[in-house]
């Protein structure tokens, strides 16, 4: 009986040795150690033995069970390791291969221009501030010195939410018509002194070749002591020269009116006409030249500073607001604003910018398209 069992053991070990897969090993395990397996049957014989027989047979049978079980475990481990090796071998990555050519996205000119502006103004000590596109009446109008009945409200073609959507202060909710509410939010949140730009989307119910219901502005705000118009003019000149990458930028400041600035200044830039296209540079008064309206600005109205919780006797400042889409059109030569928002892949690949080419002052802010 014992030689019979020895043969069975060596047989099992030999088959285990030759097993090529986890499935083979499992089959051998079931045959030996499964409920109806031959080792399980051997174990059951112990119950029918006399205590003396059991004393010698017990350790012997347990020994057989342990040898087979250990061999199965060892084979399993070896097979798993080999499988892992094989899989790793098929999954090697050749890092020396060139990157495959895949369709690539591009950075939209609006994003590009906003990045350029952030870079230029960061160099002048401005940080970037943001505010919600869904605003309330108070931030968008009242705190900017446009009370309920103010005629300037009518000029904004505002998208209002229904009366069931009210601000906590009871005011109407609306889509912000300009980035100027960020002036108020930032002054309230951060106090003074302050130097920020606030790029973002704005909305007006208006649509033709030069107006879309959604467009982009960048707001600028400086609050400090003893700020005057000279600071505003220098800042705008420095910014526009850096943005258009030329020193040949001539500005004309015209008196204007915004409820939130006093005095208010409309800024025009001189251009020439070359091959039927407007090219920035030179005085707009020179022969063959003209002036183009570029942005609105002014000294922050005392009332606005007070609305934002600051003391207007201590703090002054200037603010400006400029259309980002318009800046992009002027710099990169598009002539229809609506195409900006069509999502046409051909337009995007023509006018878009590489995502790997971040605008920097040292590299020239206008990264190459």
Residues 54-73 interacting with ligand PHE (rule: CB under 6 A):
none
Say if residue 263 is preceded by a cis peptide, omega within 30 of 0: yes
| N-to-C CA span, the chain | 87
User: Smallest distance from the beta carbon of 238 to ligand PHE, in angstroms?
Assistant: 18
| Torsion sign, CA atoms 9, 11, 17, 21 | negative
Please, which residue, 109 or 321, has the CB nearer to ligand PHE?
321
CB neighbours of residue 231 within 10 Å = 16
Q: Are residues 251 and 280 in contact, defined by beta-carbon separation less than 8 angstroms?
A: no
| Torsion sign, CA atoms 144, 199, 202, 136 | negative
Q: Which of these segments, 124-132, 191-199, 236-244, 293-301, binds ligand PHE (CB under 6 A)?
A: 293-301
User: Smallest distance from the beta carbon of 365 to ligand PHE, in angstroms?
Assistant: 22
Please, which residue, 270 or 296, has the CB nearer to ligand PHE?
296
Specify the residue for token string 């109407």. Answer: 172
The answer to whether residue 296 forms part of the interface with ligand PHE (CB under 6 A) is yes
User: Smallest distance from the beta carbon of 367 to ligand PHE, in angstroms?
Assistant: 27
Of 204, 209, 215, the C-alpha closest to 336 is 209
Specify the residue for token string 């705000």. Answer: 221
The answer to whether residue 298 forms part of the interface with ligand PHE (CB under 6 A) is yes
User: Smallest distance from the beta carbon of 143 to ligand PHE, in angstroms?
Assistant: 13
Question: Between 165 and 184, how does the x/- string for binding to ligand PHE read (CB under 6 A)?
Answer: -------------x-x----
Q: Are residues 242 and 233 in contact, defined by beta-carbon separation less than 8 angstroms?
A: no
Of 79, 80, 65, the C-alpha closest to 34 is 65
Q: Which of these segments, 36-44, 89-97, 118-126, 290-298, binds ligand PHE (CB under 6 A)?
A: 290-298
Specify the residue for token string 């004309």. Answer: 252
Q: Are residues 131 and 197 in contact, defined by beta-carbon separation less than 8 angstroms?
A: no
User: Smallest distance from the beta carbon of 287 to ligand PHE, in angstroms?
Assistant: 31
Query: Rounded CA gap, 31 and 29, in Å?
Result: 5
**DSSP SS3 for 285:** coil
User: Smallest distance from the beta carbon of 342 to ligand PHE, in angstroms?
Assistant: 24
Tokens of 29: 């395990």
The answer to whether residue 140 forms part of the interface with ligand PHE (CB under 6 A) is no
The answer to whether residue 301 forms part of the interface with ligand PHE (CB under 6 A) is no
User: Smallest distance from the beta carbon of 148 to ligand PHE, in angstroms?
Assistant: 18
Of 263, 333, 265, the C-alpha closest to 294 is 265
The answer to whether residue 319 forms part of the interface with ligand PHE (CB under 6 A) is yes
Please, which residue, 12 or 142, has the CB nearer to ligand PHE?
142
User: Smallest distance from the beta carbon of 177 to ligand PHE, in angstroms?
Assistant: 7
Please, which residue, 151 or 170, has the CB nearer to ligand PHE?
151
Query: Rounded CA gap, 164 and 146, in Å?
Result: 23
Residues 232-261 interacting with ligand PHE (rule: CB under 6 A):
258, 261
Say how many residues touch ligand PHE, by CB under 6 A. Answer: 11
CB neighbours of residue 351 within 10 Å = 20
Q: Which of these segments, 39-47, 109-117, 277-285, 318-326, binds ligand PHE (CB under 6 A)?
A: 318-326
Residues that bind ligand PHE (CB under 6 A): 178, 180, 219, 258, 261, 296-298, 319-321
């Amino acid at each position: 009986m014992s030689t019979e069992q020895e043969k069975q053991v060596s047989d099992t070990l030999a088959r285990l040795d030759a097993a090529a897969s986890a499935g083979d090993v499992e089959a051998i395990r079931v045959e030996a150690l499964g409920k109806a397996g031959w080792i399980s049957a051997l174990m059951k014989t112990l119950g029918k033995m006399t205590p003396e027989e059991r004393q010698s047979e017990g350790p012997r049978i347990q020994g057989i069970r342990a040898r087979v079980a250990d061999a199965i475990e060892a084979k399993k481990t070896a097979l798993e390791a080999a499988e892992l090796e094989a899989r790793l071998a098929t999954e090697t990555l050749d890092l020396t291969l060139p990157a495959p050519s895949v369709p690539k996205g591009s950075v939209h000119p609006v994003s590009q221009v906003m990045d350029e502006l952030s870079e230029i103004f960061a160099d002048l000590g401005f940080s970037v501030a943001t505010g919600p596109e869904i605003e309330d009446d108070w931030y968008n109008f009242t705190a900017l010195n446009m009370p309920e009945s103010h005629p300037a409200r009518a000029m904004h073609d505002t998208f209002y939410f229904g009366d069931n959507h009210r601000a906590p202060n009871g005011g109407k909710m609306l889509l912000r018509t300009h980035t100027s509410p960020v002036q108020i939010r930032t002054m309230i949140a951060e106090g003074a002194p302050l130097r920020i730009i606030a790029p973002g989307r704005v909305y007006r119910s208006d649509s033709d070749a030069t107006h879309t219901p959604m467009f982009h502005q960048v707001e600028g705000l400086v609050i400090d002591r003893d700020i005057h118009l000279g600071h505003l003019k220098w800042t705008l000149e420095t910014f526009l020269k850096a943005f258009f990458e030329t020193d040949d930028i001539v500005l004309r400041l015209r008196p204007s009116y915004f409820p939130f600035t006093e005095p208010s200044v409309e800024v025009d830039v001189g251009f020439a006409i070359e091959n039927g296209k407007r090219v920035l540079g030179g005085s707009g008064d020179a022969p063959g030249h003209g002036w183009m309206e570029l942005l609105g600005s002014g000294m922050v109205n005392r009332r606005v500073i007070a609305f934002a919780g600051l003391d207007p006797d201590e703090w002054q400042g200037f603010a400006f607001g400029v259309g980002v889409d318009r800046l992009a059109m002027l710099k990169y030569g598009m002539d229809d604003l609506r195409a900006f928002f069509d999502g046409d892949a051909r337009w995007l690949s023509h006018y878009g910018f590489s995502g790997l080419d971040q605008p920097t002052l040292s590299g020239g802010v206008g990264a190459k398209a």
